[in-house]
Amino acid sequence: QAKEQGRNQVQIFDAGMNLQTQIQIKKTTELRIALEQGQMELHYQPQFCLRDGSLVGVEALVRWNKPGIGLVYPGDFIPLAETTGIIVPMGKWVLKEACHQLSAWRQAGFNNIRMAVNLSARQLRQPSLASDIAGILQQQEMNADMLELEITESMLMEDMNTAITTMSELNQLGIHLAIDDFGTGYSSLAYLKNFPVRRLKIDKSFVQDLTADTEDTAIISAIINLAHNMGIAVIAEGIENEAQLEYLRQLNCDEGQGYFLARPMPAADMDKLLQESCPLVEKDQ
């Protein structure tokens, strides 16, 4: 019902409706209009190879550029987008925009980078997901392996059967998957053999205490070794200082991402970064 009202951009607040519900409807309408009016934008955070410092990919992170307010971060609107279903058209927009941007970068000569896009649980349950993505790839003349989809552990466990079906469809397209926030959920590598997983993303909570906490070091070390034995690459997220970076290098972590290396940035700033020499290499000098 609230959904319909949002779509028609009409808000009828009857007297009995509590304030919470009214706010919810208002926010839902706002978010729907934001998407329709092009207020969403993507920022990109670079991902680096920890061995040679090269820029290997970017993760697309959605922001809402709210008129008169400024940037609103996903934590403040993704949950509502999830519960209302707005995440489905929004996620489709994100995929299109990210693939379009990657094509532009590749055409500019930066053809060794991949694009990582976050998927929501709701998107994973859409039967049309794989064919939607196939259409986008075709439109952008993109190879499937240039796209990486990030899915959290808990999303896989929630609805294992649907996840397996959708993911094998995605796999048939040649798309690879990364398990996001790894270590915060079941942290079982056993189920990974059921999925075409290319990469694990170690959650930033483990990276945060890396130098101080020997247990986190042991956990990360075990995850990296086990993943490598299964032919799965590992990327660490949330690298905020040089000590963390050094530890991860010593532990043989393949790739890294974090404020210390580069913050998420608008496409125009990413253009500049791509044209500069690699920031990791510069830091070493």
Binding-site residue total for Mg ion (CB under 5 A)?
Answer: 5
Q: Looking at this protein, which amino acid is placed at residue 129?
A: L
Contact call for residue 53 and ligand C2E (CB under 6 A) = no
Asked if 125 contacts 95 with a C-beta cutoff of 8 angstroms, the reply is no
Q: Closest CB to ligand C2E among 29 and 47?
A: 47
Task: Please name the amino acid found at residue 68.
Answer: G
Cβ partners under 8 Å of residue 275, min gap 6: none
The token pair that represents 253 in the structure block: 């972590």
Q: Which two tokens stand for residue 41?
A: 């934008």
100 residue type, one letter:
H
Distance CA 75, CA 18 (A): 24
Instruction: Assess 238 for contact with ligand C2E (CB under 6 A).
Output: yes
Nearer to ligand C2E, 94 or 234 (CB): 94
Is there binding between residue 181 and Mg ion (CB under 5 A)? yes
- CA atoms in the 13 A half-sphere facing the CB of 90: 30
The pairing of strands 233-236 and 70-72 is unpaired
Partner in contact with 53, chosen from Mg ion, ligand C2E, none, beta carbon below 5 to 8 Å by kind: none
Binding ligand C2E by CB under 6 A: which of 237, 245, 248, 256? 237
What is the smallest separation between the CB atom of 30 and ligand C2E, expressed in angstroms?
18
What's the chain's length in residues? 285
> Which lies closer to ligand C2E via its Cβ, residue 5 or residue 267?
267
Report the residue number, 29 or 118, with the smaller CB distance to ligand C2E. Answer: 118
CB of 195 to ligand C2E, least distance (A): 18
Q: Give whichever of 17 and 157 is closer to ligand C2E, judged by the CB atom.
A: 157
**Closer of 150 and 216 to ligand C2E (Cβ):** 150
Q: Minimum distance between the CB of residue 110 and ligand C2E, rounded to whole angstroms?
A: 21
User: Interaction with ligand C2E in 83-122: which residues (CB under 6 A)?
Assistant: 91, 94, 118-120
CA distance 165 to 127: 9
d(CA 64, CA 145): 28
In the complex, what is the shortest distance from the CB of residue 238 to ligand C2E, in angstroms, rounded to a whole number?
Answer: 4
d(CA 236, CA 167): 23
How many angstroms separate the CA atoms of 133 and 38, rounded? 21
Q: Look-up: residue for tokens 């969403």? A: 40
**Helix or strand run (H / E) with residue 176:** strand 176-182
Q: Which of 70, 75, 109, 231 binds ligand C2E (CB under 6 A)?
A: 75
Beta strand extents in 50-131 (DSSP E only): 55-66, 70-72, 114-118
H or E segment and range at residue 199: strand 197-202
Q: Which of 11, 17, 73, 281 binds ligand C2E (CB under 6 A)?
A: 73
What residue type is 241 in one-letter code?
A: N
Considering the complex, state which of residue 25 and residue 156 has its C-beta at the smaller distance from Mg ion: 156
Instruction: Name residues contacting Mg ion, limited to 109-168 (CB under 5 A).
Output: 118, 150
What x-and-dash track marks residues 99-118 binding Mg ion by CB under 5 A? -------------------x
**Least distance from C-beta 122 to ligand C2E, angstroms?**
8
Give the binding site for ligand C2E (CB under 6 A). 45, 61-62, 73-75, 78, 91, 94, 118-120, 150, 180-181, 204, 237-240, 258-259, 264
